[in-house]
Structure 1
Amino acid sequence: MTSTAPHQSILDKPFVLDLFAGPGGLDVAGQALDIPSLGIEWDKSACLTRYAAGLDTLHADVSAIRRDGFESLPPEINVLAGGPPCQTYSVAGHGAGREALEKVKRFIDRLIDGEPDEAIDEDLKKLSDPRTALVLEPLRYAIQATRSPNRENRPYDVIVLEQVPTVLPVWRHYAEALEERGLPEVPGHGRVKYAVDFGVLATETYGVPQTRSRAVLIARRLELGEPSLPSPTHHAYEPRGWNRRSAAAETQGHQPTLYADDDIVPEPQRSPETAAAGEPKKRWKSMGDVLGNRVGAHPGRPTPFLVRSNYGSSGVSGRRGVRTDQQPAFTVTGRISRFVVFEHLNERVVCEGPRFSMNEAGMLQSFPPDYPWSGTAQAQQVGNAVPPAFGMHLLSAALGLPEPDTEILRKPWQAATEEQRAKRRSHGCGSADACTERCPRPEDQVPPPSSRPRRTGKA
């Protein structure tokens, strides 16, 4: 899949290193923009999806590659991207990351001061959840690039990061460090400083058919000019302005009984950064816009339909929200397979229909139809991914490219042949058909039990 639109990047040959690459959202975006990428991912199933999709991949621990394999990375990589795991920062998580934010900021300062990795690693072991430290890896990679003989100590030209909104204070501290102090001094090179822009963006304003807010950061070396966050191309979805009854009456001439005001789950307020990004141009995309028509192996889902989600409900059924096919989806998470879909609406009958397939769930994330989801925990893979349409806008803004045409993502994805898949797995795992000793062990991927009690939604 390639874009036919001519473009001129601020870089002659952009090449992306995608940390915590997941099943390939940012890499799919890169392919649509004709930008090569290499992803590092330690989850076996996500790697199987990537191999099946034909994406260049290392099945590895991001931290281990930085420590022991950095010199093996292609030296021509000049764009660093990453979406560190968000569980400990997420509102839905136990909150270890939110409690550790101030500690993380101090670690950022110590890294910028050039403290030895060994001392920092020892102190990072004291965090209650080691995943919290992963948000530091992009900075540590940026520093490592300036120490790499294979790269001749050449820093990354562009950095692109995204995470859940609660990580915005970390990105703000990243920005202050990169702009005001720069990366630690390297003999003969001095400190490398960046121009940075950051904020919280709503993905539906970039053509993604779901409401999903993300904290993003774009940095460029000062010599490459000031970056700016991508301007929205679509209107924001405002739930208070959505009249379910009017929409139902327009479509059906009557009102289904599931349209209850107290079913509505309030959406998070949009940030000032989103409003400042510019006035969106088009109507947001709805679930029906992307799922209603036949494309590739997707047969098209009959409309109208309703979706009841447990996102944001804390397990309390009475708080579960309902949306119609004329609205964007709720945030697609690893619980997407639990969303209940109702079809055949009329005045008295609302029947439960088939739940979203992984293909449909991926399309709600803006993945192309027929994307080859593989391995286990596919719903989690879908929910954790960067929406490719959003990724196209982030990369385009970071590299100074024109506004991308995300409609290219509506074309069915051509999966890799067996030969292509085997070649990529040989590179990523060390064997054409199996993991090897160099791959992360599954038991190492299970997070430690939290010391905090899990929230149940009970008073």
Structure 2
Amino acid sequence: MIVDLFAGPGGLDVGAARLGMEVTGIERDHAACETRRAAGLGTVEGDVREYGPADFPDATGLAGSPPCQPYSVGGKGRGRAALDTVLRLAGWLAERRDITPELVGFDDERTGLVLEPLRWTLDAMDSGRPFQTVVLEQVSTVLPVWEAFAEILRAEGYHVATGRLSAEEFGVPQTRVRAFLIASLTHEVQLPEPTHQRYRKGAPQGQGALGLLPWVSMAEAIGWGMTDRPALTVAVGTAAGGPDPSCVGGSGARATLYGERDAGRWIGCARIVPAEDLPAYRGGRRDTIRLSVQDAALLQTFPADHPWRGSRTKQFEQIGNAVPCLLAQHVFAAGFGLPLAAAALTQEAA
């Protein structure tokens, strides 16, 4: 059984479940927990900081995708500004020092949550029941943290691989780059090898490295939209501001979408609506491009029938924060030493 920290609506867990793995996720957002329960995913509603390995004695694996907002280039950058402190505290954890007093010093309490997977892993090691496999995901700017974790875990006897993966190289219809860590006590590990071609601007779909499948376009995934490239990402809109939750990407991504539309590379553009019909829209453009909840979920390779719960904005928040399920499936297969063929699925097969 795998314990998934900061489990959200189940991006990592759906990927693991497709490989026959049992996962229990810890998540404190109520709407995300309702989505998980409706999808039949094991769920503990609560704060990761209030639990530990002793609460899950049957768990042999650990997964985690800590909140990315402090480290995202689209946010205020408080986590990135505190990176040196985070790395220092990781070293303290390796020395089994209590870092609790230091965590209250962060401007954004979410900054320190990136250290929780390391705390869990070391606590499990010290209890004599270590996790056999650890899989972690975050925005690409967190890679130095994963590399610091890797050095610590190698000293504890783990085989570790870290690096960045681009989602479209694994059949996900978006060019989302994320940092991953895979660790195993039982065997050498490496990040999964791409199964799909990398998107390159101006290069026709299907042209690229031999033996790789073509990248999947937005149009192929949801039946409308950009016909010659994947989506950039899925925005996380909130009631407090930020991108409209039904749009793809932030301001730069949205500009790309408008360029695709203006160049005539759109099909089924019924979801382009006047800005005056969107009170939360602040972009100043005459109109904006919108996605339905199901559209956005398909871009994250969730099942078409994944049972989203909560308000419309909360549903988009869940989707935008999730790890693409298909990418997660590849990473879990690599981490647990499963044959690559078990993970090499198109979105239709998934």
> Structure 2-normalised TM-score?
0.82
Structure 2 counterpart of 1:353, from 255, 258, 270: 270
Kept in 1, the 8 Å contact 2:134–2:182? The answer is: yes
- Residues 385-404 of structure 1: matches in 2 within 5 Å? 385-403=322-340, 404=342
Kept in 2, the 8 Å contact 1:369–1:410? The answer is: no
- Equivalent position amino acid for 1:286 in 2: S
Aligned mates of 2:125, 2:34 — CA distance in 1: 32
Residue 338 of structure 1: how far off its partner (Å): 2.4
Match for residue 216 of structure 2?
Answer: 285
Match for residue 194 of structure 2?
Answer: 232
String of CA shifts for 1:334-377, please: whole Å, max 9, x gaps.
14502488999998x99951232111110111111111111131
Aligned residues: 310
Match for residue 146 of structure 1?
Answer: 125
Match for residue 75 of structure 2?
Answer: 93
Matched, 1:200 2:164: yes
Match for residue 138 of structure 2?
Answer: 163
Kept in 2, the 8 Å contact 1:236–1:280? The answer is: no
- Equivalent position amino acid for 2:333 in 1: S
- Residues 16-165 of structure 1: matches in 2 within 5 Å? 16-66=2-52, 70-73=53-56, 75-115=57-97, 117=98, 120-148=99-127, 153-165=128-140
Whose Rg is larger? 1
String of CA shifts for 1:106-128, please: whole Å, max 9, x gaps.
1111111111x3xx101111122
Kept in 2, the 8 Å contact 1:205–1:280? The answer is: no
Aligned mates of 2:201, 2:114 — CA distance in 1: 32
Matched, 1:383 2:320: yes
Matched, 1:173 2:148: yes
Which SS does the other structure have where 1:173 is aligned? helix
Q: 1:133 to 1:290 in 2, by over 3 A?
A: same
Which SS does the other structure have where 1:38 is aligned? strand
Which SS does the other structure have where 2:115 is aligned? helix
Residue 411 of structure 1: how far off its partner (Å): 6.3
Aligned mates of 1:135, 1:371 — CA distance in 2: 27
Matched, 1:410 2:331: no
Calculate percent identity across the aligned residue pairs.
43
Aligned mates of 1:105, 1:25 — CA distance in 2: 27
Residue 102 of structure 1: how far off its partner (Å): 0.9
> Structure 1-normalised TM-score?
0.63
Structure 1 residue ranges without an equivalent (≥5): 1-14, 183-192, 244-277, 293-304, 307-323, 413-459
Residue 407 of structure 1: how far off its partner (Å): 4.0
String of CA shifts for 1:146-197, please: whole Å, max 9, x gaps.
344xxxx211111111100000110111111111x32xxxxxxxxxx21111
Structure 2 residue ranges without an equivalent (≥5): 237-242, 249-253, 272-289
Aligned mates of 2:337, 2:344 — CA distance in 1: 16
Match for residue 274 of structure 1?
Answer: none
Aligned mates of 2:143, 2:109 — CA distance in 1: 19
Which SS does the other structure have where 1:169 is aligned? helix
Which SS does the other structure have where 1:217 is aligned? strand
- Residues 418-457 of structure 1: matches in 2 within 5 Å? none
Match for residue 216 of structure 1?
Answer: 180
- Residues 267-278 of structure 1: matches in 2 within 5 Å? none
Q: 1:178 to 1:351 in 2, by over 3 A?
A: closer
Residue 406 of structure 1: how far off its partner (Å): 5.2
Q: 1:124 to 1:111 in 2, by over 3 A?
A: same
Aligned mates of 1:279, 1:196 — CA distance in 2: 29
Kept in 2, the 8 Å contact 1:30–1:36? The answer is: yes
Q: 1:164 to 1:280 in 2, by over 3 A?
A: farther
Stretches of 4+ aligned residues off by more than 6 angstroms:
340-347
